[in-house]
C-alpha cells in the first residue's frame, strides 16, 4: 500500500525535514519509526523540505509498505514510538502513484511576529520576537497587497537552489492581529528557497518604516535581492497546509486549496513543485 501521513512537528528539535549526514531530521526519525514497526526499511517522500527551526502543522509525506496495518491505524502506531516533538495527525491509503511532492499544487505558510519589550519565555523558538519593534499594521497590509498575484520573485529567494523559473503566484498574503502578535499567511502555487522568510523580513521592515513600498515594487520589477528585506528567522515559520488537485488517489485529509473556479481547482502549476525548501 501507499500510505500518506499528515505530520506536525517542532522544527527546533531537528536539523530540518530532509535526512542529514550528521544530525537527526524529521524524515529520518519517521523512517526509523516505520522500520521499527514493520522490520523493513522505507523511504518517506515529503511535500517539501523545511530547514532547521521551521515548524510544520500540515507536512504531508508518503511511503510504500507491504505491512497489513490498516491505513487509518498508522497514525496510532507511529505516535506510540515517536517522540512528543513529532505527531502524525492523520494517515490514509492513497493511489499507488501518488507522490506527496510532485502531486502538490500549492502550499500555505504561516509566520508569527511578536513585537515586544521583553522576550516571551513561552514563545521562544515559536515566533520572531522583535524587541522594541513597533509594527504599523496598516503599512504592513499595504506592502502585503503588492505581493499578491503572479510575479517574478527572483529578489525574494536565497541563492543555491538551482531553480531557473522564479515566477510564482501568491493567492493570498494576509496579516492579522493574533494573541498580541501579527500572524502572516502566505498561500501560493509554489515557493522558492527561503522565499517566505525573505517576504516576511521585507514586510517587517516595511511595517517598521525601514523599507519603502517603492523598494518592494523595485524588487519585483528588477529581481535584485538588494531591494528586498532581510531573511526572517526560521523559528517563526510554519508549514501549515499542502494542497492537492481534486482527483482520485489523493489523501482523504487533503484540501484542494482556495483556487479560483477558472483554475479548475488545480492552481496554476502542473502539479510538480520546483521549490527546494523553506
3-state per-residue secondary structure call for 157-180: CCCCCCCCCCEEEEEEEEEEEECC
Which residue is associated with the grid cell 500500500? Answer: 1
Domain-located, residue 265:
no
| Number of domains, the chain | 2
* Domain-ending residue, one of 47, 62, 94: 94
Q: What is the CATH number of the domain that holds 50?
A: 3.30.70.580
Q: Are residues 138 and 85 in the same domain?
A: no
User: Which residues make beta-bridge pairs with 224?
Assistant: none
| pLDDT at 68 exceeding the cut of 80 | yes
- From 160, 132, 156, 268, select the one nearest 215 (Cα to Cα): 156
199-209 pLDDT, tens digit each: 999 999 999 99
Q: Which residues are the active-site residues?
A: 51
Confidence grade of residue 277 (pLDDT, cut at 50, 70, 90): very low
**Global confidence as pTM:** 0.92
Domain-located, residue 103:
no
Domain-located, residue 250:
no
Q: Are residues 154 and 116 in the same domain?
A: yes
Helices (H), 59-211: 74-81, 137-147, 195-207
Domain-located, residue 17:
yes
**What counts of helices (H) and strands (E) characterise the chain?**
5, 10
Q: Are residues 116 and 82 in the same domain?
A: no
Domain-located, residue 147:
yes
Q: How many CB atoms lie within 10 A of CB 32?
A: 15
| pLDDT at 172 exceeding the cut of 50 | yes
Domain-located, residue 143:
yes
Q: Are residues 114 and 90 in the same domain?
A: no
Q: Are residues 115 and 232 in the same domain?
A: yes
Domain-located, residue 229:
yes
Please give the Cα distance from 11 to 53 (Å, whole number).
Answer: 4
Q: What is the rounded average pLDDT of the residues 2-6? A: 98
Q: How many CB atoms lie within 10 A of CB 119?
A: 13
Q: Are residues 117 and 232 in the same domain?
A: yes
pLDDT at 134: 85
Report the share of the chain in percent with pLDDT over 70: 91
User: Which residues make beta-bridge pairs with 64?
Assistant: 2
Which residue is associated with the grid cell 515548524? Answer: 55
Q: Are residues 152 and 213 in the same domain?
A: yes
Q: Are residues 83 and 137 in the same domain?
A: no
pLDDT at 259: 55
What phi, psi does 24 have (nearest 5°)?
Answer: -80, 130
Q: Are residues 149 and 173 in the same domain?
A: yes
Q: Are residues 56 and 142 in the same domain?
A: no
Domain-located, residue 248:
no
Please give the Cα distance from 255 to 250 (Å, whole number).
Answer: 10
Segments forming the whole domain that contains residue 68? 2-94
CA distances from 25 to 18, 37, 42 (A): 6, 19, 15
Report the share of the chain in percent with pLDDT over 90: 82
**How many Å from the N-terminal Cα to the C-terminal Cα in the chain?**
29
Q: Are residues 66 and 132 in the same domain?
A: no
Q: What is the CATH number of the domain that holds 212?
A: 3.30.70.660
Contact 236, 126 (CB under 8 A): yes
Q: Are residues 137 and 217 in the same domain?
A: yes
Amino acid at each position: 500500500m501507499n500510505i500518506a501521513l499528515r505530520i506536525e512537528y517542532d522544527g527546533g528539535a531537528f536539523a530540518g525535514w530532509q535526512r542529514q549526514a550528521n544530525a537527526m531530521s524529521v524524515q529520518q526519525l519517521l523512517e526509523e519509526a516505520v522500520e521499527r514497526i514493520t522490520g523493513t526499511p522505507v523511504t518517506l517522500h515529503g511535500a517539501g523540505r523545511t530547514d532547521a527551526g521551521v515548524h510544520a502543522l500540515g507536512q504531508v509525506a508518503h511511503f510504500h509498505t507491504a505491512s497489513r496495518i490498516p491505513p487509518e491505524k498508522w497514525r496510532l502506531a507511529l505516535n506510540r514510538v515517536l517522540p512528543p516533538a513529532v505527531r502524525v495527525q492523520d494517515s490514509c491509503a492513497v493511489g499507488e502513484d501518488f507522490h506527496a511532492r510532485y502531486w502538490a499544487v500549492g502550499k500555505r505558510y504561516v509566520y508569527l511576529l511578536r513585537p515586544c519589550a521583553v522576550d516571551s519565555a513561552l514563545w521562544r523558538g515559536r515566533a520572531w520576537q522583535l524587541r522594541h519593534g513597533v509594527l504599523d499594521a496598516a503599512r504592513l497590509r499595504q506592502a502585503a497587497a503588492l505581493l499578491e498575484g503572479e510575479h517574478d520573485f527572483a529578489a525574494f529567494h536565497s541563492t543555491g537552489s538551482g531553480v531557473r523559473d522564479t515566477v510564482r503566484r501568491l493567492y493570498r498574503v494576509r496579516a492579522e492581529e493574533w494573541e498580541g502578535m501579527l500572524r502572516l499567511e502566505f498561500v501560493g502555487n509554489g515557493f522558492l528557497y527561503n522565499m517566505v522568510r525573505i517576504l516576511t523580513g521585507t514586510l517587517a521592515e516595511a511595517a517598521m518604516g525601514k523599507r519603502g513600498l517603492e523598494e518592494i515594487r523595485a524588487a519585483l520589477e528588477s529581481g535584485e535581492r538588494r531591494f528586498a528585506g532581510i531573511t526572517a528567522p526560521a523559528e517563526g515559520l510554519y508549514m501549515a497546509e499542502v494542497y492537492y488537485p481534486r482527483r482520485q488517489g489523493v489523501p482523504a485529509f487533503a484540501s484542494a486549496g482556495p483556487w479560483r473556479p477558472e483554475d479548475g481547482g488545480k492552481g496554476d502549476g502542473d502539479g510538480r513543485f520546483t521549490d527546494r525548501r523553506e
